[in-house]
Amino acid sequence: MSTEFIQAPKGHAKAGFALITSEAELRAHVWEWRTANEIIAFVPTMGALHDGHISLIAKAKRHASKVVASIYVNETQFAAGEDLDTYPRDHEGDCKMLKRAGCDLVYIPEKMYGPHHSTTINVGGPALGLETDHRAHFFAGVALIVTKLFNQVQPDIAVFGEKDYQQLLTIRRMVSDLDMPVRILGAPILREQDGLAMSSRNRYFDGTGREIAGKLNIIMQTCAKDILDGYDINTATKKASADIIKAGFDSVDYVAVADTHSLELLSGTLGARPARLLIAAHCKGVRLIDNCAVG
């Protein structure tokens, strides 16, 4: 990796941009910031950054005096057969983006789990259903890595994107239930010109797959409008599922409408209840998730 990034020696936090790989060095930085009464915001990532990630850094900077980002491809949220080994990685490019965005510290731990690690965290409430129906392991892995990172970084604030809306609510529930002193902020979804939600996995697409993927947002917005216009939720979501397949997608995991705060699934007509439309579908070997507010 390029040597332009500051490697802070243990026990001393240098000014400017720092790239750190050890927990001890991270804690030294955090301790120095704490003694200076800095407000620390944290943006955890798995790398392969895009403008959506950088928008999280921008939001973090508006709420804190120091911003930490982490890069770690978390093995506990991948099941057998998923893309752990092929998940895109570009640490040097990511660090350059984060430095330009004004991030103060990038933490890239070499490992997060010891050989005898045996602790798990299971969150209920908003973590149940939807993603869990198709990736039963996922939120346990997310909850575990986020808890470990919160313990290491000790942030006042953490920022997560609304594209992973169920994940955002799951983390909020975990933080509340476990009395973690971290304020969780959500950041709006950033989209490409055709409406496709920005995602690191979009790099997997060839030209044909990318063209098909761009239709997902159009179908989602049409479904949301139909529900707002008084259509029965089950009727509207079934039509959206059919439209996704007609557009060239391989399969649909779910199209569902849920309460904005609890993620309780809704049916019938919406009325005045705040809701979220959530979608997961497969396009040419790439699994896409997306969501939008309804009302």
* Catalytic residue list: 53
The C-alpha torsion from 258 through 264 and 269 to 270, rounded to 10°, is -60
Out of 136, 157, 187, pick the residue that ends a domain: 187
Out of 139, 162, 187, pick the residue that ends a domain: 187
Structure-block tokens of residue 153: 């970084």
| Residue 123 DSSP label | -
Quote the percentage of the chain above a pLDDT of 90.
89
Residue 233 within any structural domain of the chain: yes
User: The CATH number of the domain where 279 resides is what?
Assistant: 3.30.1300.10
Q: What pLDDT, in 10s, does the model give residues 102-158?
A: 999 999 999 999 999 999 999 999 999 999 999 999 999 999 999 999 999 999 999
Out of 152, 187, 222, pick the residue that ends a domain: 187
Token pair 């971290």 in the structure block, residue: 182
Structure-block tokens of residue 198: 């920005």
Q: What pLDDT, in 10s, does the model give residues 159-213?
A: 999 999 999 999 999 999 999 999 999 999 999 999 999 999 999 999 999 999 9
Residue 11 within any structural domain of the chain: no
Q: What pLDDT, in 10s, does the model give residues 45-68?
A: 999 999 999 999 999 999 999 999
Residue 230: domain span:
200-294
Asked whether the predicted pLDDT for residue 11 surpasses 60, the reply is: no
Look at the chain and report how many structural domains it folds into.
Answer: 2
Structure-block tokens of residue 217: 């947002």
- What's residue 127's pLDDT? 97
Q: Do 224 and 292 meet the contact criterion of CB atoms below 8 Å apart? A: yes
Question: Is the overall model pTM greater than 0.85, yes or no?
Answer: yes
Residues 179 and 242 in one domain: no
Structure-block tokens of residue 72: 């770690």
- What's residue 81's pLDDT? 80
